[in-house]
C-alpha cells in the first residue's frame, strides 16, 4: 500500500529493482485515502493557496483501500484466503511466517497478532488485552498513566503485550468489515506538518490528523491468535534518527542475528566492526530464517548469486 505522495516513486523503484526477482504479475499496488488536517484551533490547513493539506488516513485505511482498489477481488480470483500484514518501520518483520500462519489457520482465527514484551511502561507501542470483555489493542497515547504503569505481584508490567503491527487477516473477514464501508473508530494524531501559513509561505505547524488503526478490527473478531515473539529477531522498528529504535540499532539487531546463524552452522565470522559485532548480512533469498539457513549450509556458489555472504 502506498500514498498519493509516494505511489509513483515506489512503483518506479520496484521497476528499477526488477521487482526484486518477483513476477510483476504477483505485485499489486494500491493507495490509501487522504484526508484534510486541522490546526490546533480547528481550522483546515492548506498546502497551497488553491489546495488543502491532505494526510493519509492511518493504517486502518489499509482495509478500506484493499476493498476499493480491487485487491480483495484480485486475491479471491487467485485463491488467496489470508493476508500477511506488517508495517514498514520494522525491517526485521517476517512476512508470511509459516508458524504464525499455521497457528492462525489451526485456530480458525479471523485476525491474529504478534506481540513482544514491552521494555518499559513508556515504550510507545500499543498493548493487546481485553477491552470491555473483548480482545482489543489500546494505543500507548490512549492508555491512562495508572494502567500503563500498573504491575503484577512480581513487579512485571500488567499490560506488557506490545503490539508489533504484524497481523494475519482472513480475506473473508476484511470483506465483512468493508461490505458497507469501513466503520473503524477515528483517532486524533497530533503532528508537525509543513503547511501554508497566513503570509503565504510554507511553515512547520502543529496540527491534528484523522487516523484509523487497523488493530481496532480485533474487536470485531470471534477468534484470534496472539503470538509472543523475540524482539530482536522480529521487532526492531526504525522510528528515531539515533539511539533506541534507530537505523543503527536495527542494523545491530540484523547483523547479530545473522552472525548467530553463521556461528550455529559452523561458519567463520569476520572480525567485529566498529560497533563491536561482526557485520554480517544474509540475503533473504538465501534463507529467510535460522532453520532454513542451517538446512542450506554449506552454501554453494549459486546460493551467493555471485556475491558474498558477508558485507
Task: Report pLDDT digits (tens) over 247-285.
Answer: 999 999 999 999 999 999 999 999 999 889 999 999 888
Q: Is the pLDDT of residue 309 over 60?
A: no
CATH code 3.90.550.10 for 32-237: yes
pTM score, two decimals? 0.88
Asked whether the predicted pLDDT for residue 207 surpasses 70, the reply is yes
Confidence of residue 302 (pLDDT cuts 50, 70, 90): low
Residue-range domain boundaries for the chain? 32-237, 239-311
Distances (CA, A) of 204 to 37, 45, 54, 275, 278: 13, 11, 15, 36, 41
**Phi/psi of residue 232, nearest 5 degrees:** -65, -40
State the pairing for strand pair 111-117/226-228: parallel
Residues 6+ apart with CB under 8 A from 31: 1, 2, 3, 4, 7, 65, 69
Residue 131: phi, psi to the nearest 5? -120, 105
Residue 4's nearest CA partner among 34, 48, 26, 37 is 34
Q: With 60 as the cut, is the pLDDT of residue 205 above it?
A: yes
- Residue 5's pLDDT is 86
DSSP tag of 255: H
Using 50, 70 and 90 to split pLDDT, how confident is the model at 182?
A: confident
pLDDT for residue 199: 87
Kind and range of the H or E run holding 190: strand 187-196
Bigger pLDDT: 303 vs 138: 138
Q: What is the pLDDT of residue 284?
A: 84
* Top-confidence residue, 131 or 24: 24
CA distance 310 to 257: 13
Q: How many other C-beta atoms are found inside a 10 Å radius of the C-beta of residue 276?
A: 8
With pLDDT > 90 as the criterion, what percentage of the chain qualifies?
82
Query: What is the total residue count of the chain?
Result: 311
Compute the distance between CA of residue 9 and CA of residue 30 in angstroms, rounded to an integer. 13
Amino acid at each position: 500500500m502506498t500514498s498519493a505522495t509516494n505511489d509513483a516513486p515506489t512503483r518506479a523503484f520496484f521497476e528499477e529493482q526488477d521487482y526484486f526477482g518477483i513476477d510483476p504479475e504477483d505485485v499489486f499496488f494500491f493507495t490509501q485515502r487522504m484526508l484534510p488536517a486541522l490546526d490546533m484551533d480547528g481550522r483546515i490547513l492548506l498546502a497551497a493557496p488553491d489546495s488543502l493539506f491532505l494526510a493519509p488516513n492511518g493504517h486502518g485505511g489499509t482495509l478500506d483501500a484493499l476493498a476499493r482498489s480491487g485487491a480483495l477481488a484480485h486475491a479471491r480470483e487467485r485463491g488467496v484466503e489470508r493476508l500477511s500484514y506488517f508495517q514498514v518501520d520494522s525491517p526485521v518483520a517476517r512476512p508470511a511466517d509459516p508458524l504464525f500462519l499455521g497457528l492462525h489457520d489451526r485456530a480458525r482465527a479471523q485476525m491474529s497478532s504478534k506481540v513482544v514484551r514491552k521494555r518499559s511502561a513508556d515504550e510507545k507501542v500499543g498493548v493487546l488485552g481485553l477491552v470491555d470483555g473483548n480482545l482489543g489493542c489500546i494505543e500507548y497515547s490512549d492508555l491512562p498513566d495508572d494502567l500503563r504503569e500498573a504491575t503484577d505481584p512480581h513487579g512485571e508490567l500488567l499490560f506488557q503485550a506490545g503490539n508489533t503491527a504484524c497481523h494475519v487477516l482472513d480475506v473473508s473477514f476484511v470483506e465483512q468489515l468493508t461490505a458497507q464501508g469501513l466503520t473503524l473508530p477515528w483517532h486524533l494524531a497530533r503532528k508537525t506538518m509543513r503547511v501554508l501559513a497566513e503570509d503565504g509561505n510554507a511553515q512547520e505547524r502543529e496540527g491534528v490528523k484523522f487516523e484509523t488503526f487497523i488493530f481496532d478490527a480485533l474487536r470485531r473478531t470471534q477468534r484470534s491468535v496472539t503470538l509472543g515473539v523475540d524482539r530482536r529477531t522480529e521487532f526492531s522498528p526504525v522510528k528515531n534518527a539515533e539511539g533506541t529504535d534507530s537505523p543503527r540499532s536495527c542494523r545491530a539487531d540484523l547483523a547479530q542475528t545473522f552472525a548467530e546463524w553463521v556461528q550455529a552452522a559452523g561458519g567463520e565470522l569476520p572480525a567485529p566492526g566498529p560497533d563491536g559485532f561482526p557485520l554480517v548480512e544474509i540475503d533473504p533469498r538465501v534463507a529467510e530464517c535460522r532453520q532454513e539457513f542451517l538446512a542450506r549450509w554449506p552454501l554453494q556458489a549459486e546460493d551467493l548469486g555471485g556475491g558474498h555472504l558477508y558485507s
